[in-house]
C-alpha cells in the first residue's frame, strides 16, 4: 500500500508553528512535544518513501532540519517565558496578600457604586470623578429594590474635571429619612455640546477586613466588599 507523504518537511515545520496559535475547527492545539513527535514520524516516513533514483536533496533536507531546530528553540523559550510569568504573578500576589493585613484600620478610596447607610439621619459624602468639564449634572440614588429615592442636582462648581463630592442628607425626594441599608448611586452629566456622559463613583471608608476568595482578594470597606483592584488610595485619613 502506498502512503501519501508531504513533499516538503518545511511545510510540516510551518504547520507546527501555526498550530500553536490556532486550534482549527474546535480541535485542541498540539503541545510542543506532540509537534516534535509528529515531525520525526513524518521525517522517517519521507526517508522511507523517497525514490532511490532521485534521493532527497541533502541541502534542502539540512535546511529543513535547521528550521525545525529553530522552532524547537522558540517553543522552549516560550515555555520558559510562560513559566517565569506565572512565577512572577504568584510572587506579586504573595507579596500583596502578605502586606494587606497591615492595612486594616486605614482609610481607602475605592471605586464603587454602592454605599451603606446607617439610617440615623447623618450626612454622607458621595464621591464621583469626571474626565471632562460638564454644564449640568444629576446624581440619582437607588434603594435595594432598584427604585430611585433621591435626585441631587450637582452644583456648577462640582462640574470641572477631577474628583468631587455631593452631600446626601439621608432623605428621599419627599424629605423623609430613608431606612438603614445598602444604596446605589450614579451620576449623569451633560457637556456644552449637549452630549451626556456618566461620572465614575467612589467612596472613602475604613478597611475593616481582608478576604481571599477564589475570584480575587476583596477588602471590606464600610461594610461592603470591594475588589482590591478598585482601590486607588490607602492612607491614615481621608
Give the structural domain span for 205.
104-235
Q: What is the pLDDT of residues 120-156, one digit of tens each?
A: 988 999 999 999 899 999 999 999 999 999 999 999 8
Same domain, 109 and 213: yes
Domain end: 66, 99, 132, which one?
99
How high is the pLDDT of residue 25?
Answer: 44
Q: Is residue 1 part of a domain?
A: no
d(CA 142, CA 219): 23
Q: Which of 48, 65, 99 is the last residue of a domain?
A: 99
Same domain as 152, residue 94: no
- pLDDT tens per residue across span 20-39: 444 444 455 556 567 667 77
198 and 224 assigned to the same domain: yes
Give the CATH number for residue 167.
2.60.40.4070
| pTM (whole model) above 0.75 | no
In this structure, are 94 and 108 located in the same domain? no
What is the distance between the alpha carbons of residues 165 and 114, in angstroms, rounded to a whole number? 15
Within this chain, do residues 114 and 228 fall inside the same structural domain, yes or no?
yes
Task: Using the structure block, give the residue that is written with the C-alpha cell 470641572.
Answer: 160
Please tell me the predicted confidence (pLDDT) of residue 7: 47
Do 88 and 108 fall into the same domain? no
Q: Which residue has the cell 517565569?
A: 84
pLDDT of residue 22: 46
> How many domains is the chain built from?
2
**205, 110 Cβ separation under 8 angstroms:** yes
Residue 2 forms part of a structural domain: no
Amino acid at each position: 500500500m502506498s502512503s501519501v507523504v508531504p513533499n516538503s518537511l518545511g511545510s510540516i515545520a510551518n504547520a507546527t508553528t501555526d498550530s500553536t496559535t490556532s486550534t482549527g475547527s474546535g480541535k485542541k492545539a498540539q503541545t510542543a512535544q506532540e509537534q516534535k513527535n509528529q515531525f520525526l514520524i513524518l521525517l522517517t516516513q519521507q526517508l522511507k518513501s523517497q525514490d532511490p533514483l532521485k534521493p532527497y536533496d541533502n541541502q534542502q533536507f539540512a535546511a529543513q532540519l535547521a528550521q525545525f531546530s529553530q522552532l524547537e528553540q522558540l517553543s522552549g523559550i516560550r515555555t520558559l517565558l510562560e513559566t517565569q510569568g506565572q512565577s512572577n504573578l504568584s510572587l506579586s500576589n504573595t507579596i500583596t496578600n502578605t502586606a494587606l493585613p497591615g492595612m486594616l484600620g486605614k482609610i481607602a478610596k475605592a471605586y464603587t457604586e454602592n454605599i451603606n447607610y446607617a439610617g440615623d439621619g447623618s450626612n454622607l459624602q458621595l464621591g464621583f470623578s469626571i474626565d471632562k468639564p460638564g454644564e449640568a449634572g444629576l446624581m440619582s440614588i437607588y434603594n435595594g429594590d432598584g427604585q430611585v429615592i433621591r435626585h441631587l442636582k450637582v452644583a456648577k462648581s462640582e462640574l470641572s474635571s477631577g474628583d468631587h463630592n455631593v452631600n446626601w442628607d439621608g432623605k428621599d425626594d419627599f424629605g423623609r429619612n430613608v431606612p438603614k441599608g445598602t444604596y446605589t448611586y450614579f451620576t449623569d452629566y451633560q457637556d456644552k455640546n449637549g452630549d451626556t456622559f456618566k461620572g465614575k463613583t467612589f467612596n472613602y471608608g475604613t478597611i475593616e477586613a481582608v478576604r481571599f476568595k477564589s475570584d480575587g482578594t476583596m477588602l471590606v470597606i464600610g461594610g461592603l466588599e470591594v475588589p482590591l483592584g478598585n482601590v486607588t488610595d490607602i492612607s491614615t485619613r481621608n
